[in-house]
Structure 1
Amino acid sequence: MNCAQAREAARAVLAEHDVAPVLVDDVLTVVSELVSNALRHGEGLTGLRVTVSAGQVIVEVSDRSTLQPHLRPPSPHTPGGFGWRVVKTLAPTAFVRFHRDGKTIVAPLPLRPAR
């Protein structure tokens, strides 16, 4: 699965629950960042799950790496490095769950009323 396929899968789940468009954008951004990081730094994507319940959207992305994501200081000399910062901005309570086969990043985003 690539980033575009992951976004489409997430969009389908969100459409079933009539999630507000502004939150859809945030969720799709989180999905893109986490999936691209799994592909680039996590030794491959092993799972994607998007659920809507209990007043929140939960994005879970799994990969094979056991390395903890970290915030890199912004640098004009090094491209990239903003993915985890973007995720933590949109889903401040995001956390990492480590397991035998790697890790799963869990990023909850609170539901907002549709306008």
Structure 2
Amino acid sequence: MVVPLSKQTADGTDEEVPLCYGATWADGAAQAADARRSVRALLAHAPRTGHTVVPPALAMDAELAASELVTNAIRHAPGACGMALRMSKQELTITVWDSSTEQPAPKRADPHRIGGHGLHLVQTVSEKVVVALRATGKLITAHLPVAPPRTSSPPRPSTIPH
């Protein structure tokens, strides 16, 4: 199931309304390429709704984060999974949910290992990563700024231990 891009306001005010997108995939149907395409579509649609044009480097970071989070859901959790994208004037959040109740943990760097680098990559390109465990699985949310960071601000630490 896919929820199309939307920008809606209940009361017609000029308050900022985030741009949202969601997708749910049945067991075995999720693909990282779908996640990347969804991010590209949302970011391409954003300027038409009054949102900021995201610089190409940040757009690539967002695609990478979505791809890695969906890949981890495919590899480490049985069953259905889903992704929600939410873009405000300040940030893009990428939330992926899956059926595993295990707390994700980045693996130590090993240049000889194939795979196992995804969560570290997501942490690297995100301002913060938050994991919310649920009785039936978990939500992992990557927060990415939609404007380039100021050079005087130090990067914020991730909430997942390194």
What TM-score, normalized by structure 1, do the two folds share?
0.89
Question: CA shift at 1:75, angstroms?
Answer: 2.4
Conserved? CA contact 2:127–2:145, under 8 Å: no
* Structure 2 residues without counterparts, runs of 5 or longer: 1-29, 47-52, 149-162
Farther off after superposition, 24-33 or 89-98: 89-98
RMSD across aligned C-alpha pairs, in angstroms? Answer: 1.6
Corresponding residue for residue 58 of structure 2: 23
* Structure 1 residues without counterparts, runs of 5 or longer: none
Identity of aligned residues (%): 38
Which one has a larger percent helix, Structure 1 or Structure 2? 1
Corresponding residue for residue 88 of structure 1: 123
For 1:98 and 1:66, how far apart are their aligned partners in 2?
Answer: 6
Higher RCO, 1 vs 2 (CA within 8 Å, ≥6 residues apart): 1
- Structure of larger gyration radius: 2
Whether 1:35 aligns to 2:64 is no
Corresponding residue for residue 106 of structure 1: 141
What TM-score, normalized by structure 2, do the two folds share?
0.65
CA deviation map 1:29-77 (0-9, x unaligned): 0011100010001224511011101400000001110111112112244
